[in-house]
Structure 1
């Protein structure tokens, strides 16, 4: 349940449909497994064992988008179609044309689709209605956009914007590395990636390596810019901040998880305790990231 990647967006503070309205609107696109001829389906599933599609805990909401798709590689379709084309060529006495081959591929795909294996994945969404935050647990923007598209399709009102800060992450991370320190409750860890913005995009990666040496500053002086930087916030969460204002490799340190474990006696209570701890940490971490990047700046 603990999020590992954060794609961060903004909602107007106080935006919160009623539970009944939210359930009805999400229910328009409730998840259904792939039918025999469906290459892919997507929709909302309850994030817990309870039937509600939106799990509420105080001002926080947890949603879960399920995507299921058939595993039917084009190489299998092409190979089977080619074998049938060769047989057909012998029967009719002349080679199969382009149009015939296309029709064969479509026929083969329709025949194999009902027998194809399926793969299902889930993407979680955390919403802080009081603070106006929406976070998608996705490793890249395209997976997050998939979720946002379904939210826009499901909800009557969805006034979402991308988070925009006064300083770009690249500029801020450059300052932190050059000065050897991060602001506020952040500390610089031992992973970093520096890239040249010109020529062949030359890159230098540091993994579990101290970043306080002169070599890092020399790379920056030579024009390389940080695109990823490992940080720890408040001795409670470690993370990677990227040039795109994505937060990756989020890890809640032992002190946080131990607090959650003390509050639970069974699996259901553990889930609620985990969600409460994660929500509380995120509600403080996200404003701290914004502050470290010079504050929030509305999109023009």
Structure 2
């Protein structure tokens, strides 16, 4: 269902208050901000879209968990295209008036080029999915990009009226913990260190070494750690059920359930059986992610 996890810790009192609010009222707030087609005067548009074929923009999966999907439409107008047309017109203007255009003329000319090219630009459609876990006071966003996660949080905050939260943080930094696991050839309870990692120099050079499908107990790798490199990414397996890559920013990437919990069947139909399959899979997914994050938090010394 999700391939990446960026986690925000939400205020507990706020979550408890939202949990006591009718789900229909929350859904109405998001439904008031649907994704609309990007108009000719804009470069982008965003709004909430149905998470599944069975309902609106807020899909309740029980136990205080809701799935959200923020849609985006962006006009793709490469800078190279703008600059090529801008320079051609600037050259033509120079020939026409007999002297080089000034800064204001160039700025106005560039704005004109953008205005004329914008309606012709290709429109790219994307979605950013999220899990609002009120029981654990978490917002979990399916993206490897901190900016996209922040964008979703900004829109959700505006539509709900508030969203008090901060990026999830632990007492031990992920890089320190991961470096220790590799250096000591050990792993915390419920986790297994797999055979891929990135090592980065802990100095201004930030030189990086990528290790893939290798025994991380290799003396050469241990020597690099002994010489001062730290682990910035590490592949892990959790409870023999989920594999993923943990980064030094605490982002989980390449999340993969080793047993199928994706509701692919439920995503493609609207009959009752498909909805039941999707609902069951979504509930399993949210429960597994909640337990995974609890175990990972403990492995990193607990939440700050």
> What TM-score, normalized by structure 1, do the two folds share?
0.89
User: In structure 1, which of residues 47, 52, 70 is the aligned counterpart of residue 75 of structure 2?
Assistant: 70
Alignment-derived partner of residue 268 in structure 2? none
SS of equivalent to 1:152: helix
Structure 1 stretch displaced more, 129-138 or 81-90 = 81-90
Aligned to 1:43: 47
Q: Deviations for 1:216-260, whole angstroms, at most 9, x for unmatched residues?
A: 32222211111111100000000111111111111111x244999
Is the contact between residue 263 and residue 278 of structure 2 (CA under 8 Å) also seen in structure 1? no
Which residues of 2 match residues 120-135 of structure 1 at below 5 A?
Answer: 120-135=125-140
- Range with greater deviation from structure 2 (200-209 or 72-81): 72-81
Mapped contact 2:35–2:46 kept (Cα < 8 A): yes
Q: Which whole-Å CA distance do the structure 2 matches of 1:209 and 1:6 have between them?
A: 25
Q: List alignment gaps of at least 5 residues for structure 1.
A: none
Match of 1:57 among 61, 82, 86: 61
Q: For residues 178 and 89 of structure 1, what CA distance do their matches in structure 2 show?
A: 64
1:279 aligns with 2:289: no
- Shift of residue 133, structure 1, vs aligned partner: 2.0
Match of 1:6 in 2: 5
Query: In the alignment, is the contact (CA less than 8 A) between 2:153 and 2:163 conserved in 1?
Result: no
Contact 1:260 1:277 in 2 (8 A): no
Report 1:1-300 matches (<5 A): 2-11=1-10, 12=12, 14=16, 15-16=18-19, 17-58=21-62, 59-253=64-258, 255-257=259-261, 267-297=274-304
Aligned to 1:170, what secondary structure does the other structure show? Answer: helix
Following the alignment from structure 1 to structure 2, what is the Cα–Cα distance between the partners of residues 136 and 57? 16
Contact 1:25 1:156 in 2 (8 A): no
Distance in 2 between the 1:272 and 1:136 partners?
A: 19
Alpha carbons 1:256, 1:277 under 8 Å: kept: no
Q: Against the structure 1 CA distance between its residues 107 and 154, is the aligned structure 2 distance closer, same or farther, given a 3 Å change threshold?
A: same
Q: What is the root-mean-square deviation in Å for CA atoms of aligned residues?
A: 2.4
Structure 1 CA distance, aligned partners of 2:234 and 2:83?
A: 44
Change in Cα spacing, 1:80 to 1:22, as seen in structure 2 (3 Å) is: same
Check the 8 A contact 1:231/1:239 in 2, yes or no: yes
| CA–CA separation in structure 2 for the residues paired with 1:80 and 1:283 | 51
What is the CA–CA distance in structure 2 between the aligned matches of 1:164 and 1:147, rounded to whole Å? 19
* Matches of 1:33 and 1:73, distance apart in 2: 20
Q: Is the 8 A contact 1:64 1:122 kept in 2?
A: yes
CA contact (8 A) 2:193 2:235 kept: yes
Deviations 1:252-280 (A, max 9, x none): 11x2449998xx99543443233122112
TM-score by length of 2: 0.88
Aligned length: 294
